[in-house]
Amino acid sequence: MAVGGLIIVIIIFLIAIFAALLSPYDPGKTDVSLKLKPPSFNNYLGTDQLGRDVFSRMLHGSRISLTVGFIAVGISILIGVLVGATAGYYGSWLDSLLMRFVDTMLCFPSFFLILTVVALMGPSLINIMIVIGITSWMGTARFVRAEFLSLRERDFAQAAKALGVKDLRIIFRHILPNALAPVFVTATLSVASAILVEAGLSFLGFGVQPPAPSWGNILTEGRTYIFDAWWLTLFPGLAILITVLSFNLVGEGLRDALDPRLRGRR
């Protein structure tokens, strides 16, 4: 299942990269005479209320979804690694202070927190990526902290400290590479979550703004015509479902491959 998910993820990547070559029409081109046409050989996934080709818009929307997913996760992983490494390596009162801050952040419902911040900052692609990134790093921080608490007591870390190696070098050169396995798993699963959050924000009107196509705002435009133009909600919904499921499968496969305890049970 993980290999199948990886194949689908690679296909989605290729679609996003070559969207301009694959799309038969300009995603922003309108033709009112063709509005709400069902799927056909001329328009593979039908047209929307403005006569725009849904297939072309879906292809270009994949770029936005993947961009939001990876940049937002990159921001969250960076913050989570820094906080978790600092707390786990130094321990003591600094560990307690940082972990209480993490607990405080976890008290807030993440989606409503994101929705509130985006509403205050204004909906834009950059704001969405930043907000998702700075509100989703807590899990990574906990994983990294747990790894550092264990690894800092190992012989190689103690030997480096005894030789007078600086703390930053010990953290980033000696300990962090050995603590990255759960980070990779978390990052893969977080991409799926970020794509889902972006789609939800766009569906509510706080995400990517028209005329830029995203799977979420295609869904939003389609809900008005849900009984007359079923393809406007079915296809973007399937795209979100398949993409999120594929990333989750890849993440589960990585967890099984990188966790020696799970390997030992098989």
Task: Read off the pLDDT of residues 156-212 as tens digits, 9 standing for 90 and up.
Answer: 888 888 888 888 888 888 888 888 878 888 888 888 888 888 888 888 878 777 778
SS (H, E, C) the chain: CHHHHHHHHHHHHHHHHCHHHHCCCCCCCCCHHHCCCCCCCCCCCCECCCCCEHHHHHHHHHHHHHHHHHHHHHHHHHHHHHHHHHHHHHCHHHHHHHHHHHHHHHHCCHHHHHHHHHHHHCCCHHHHHHHHHHCCCHHHHHHHHHHHHHHCCCHHHHHHHHCCCCHHHHHHHHHHHHHCHHHHHHHHHHHHHHHHHHHHHHHHCCCCCCCCCCHHHHHHHHHCCCCCCCHHHHHHHHHHHHHHHHHHHHHHHHHHHHCHHHHHHC
Task: Read off the pLDDT of residues 41-69 as tens digits, 9 standing for 90 and up.
Answer: 988 898 988 889 999 999 998 888 888 88
**pTM of the predicted structure, to 2 decimals:** 0.83
Task: Read off the pLDDT of residues 81-101 as tens digits, 9 standing for 90 and up.
Answer: 999 999 888 888 888 999 999
Q: Which domains, ranges and CATH numbers included, belong to the chain?
A: 2-21+47-265 (1.10.3720.10)
**Average pLDDT, stretch 223-247?**
88
> For residue 7, what pLDDT band results from cuts at 50, 70 and 90?
very high
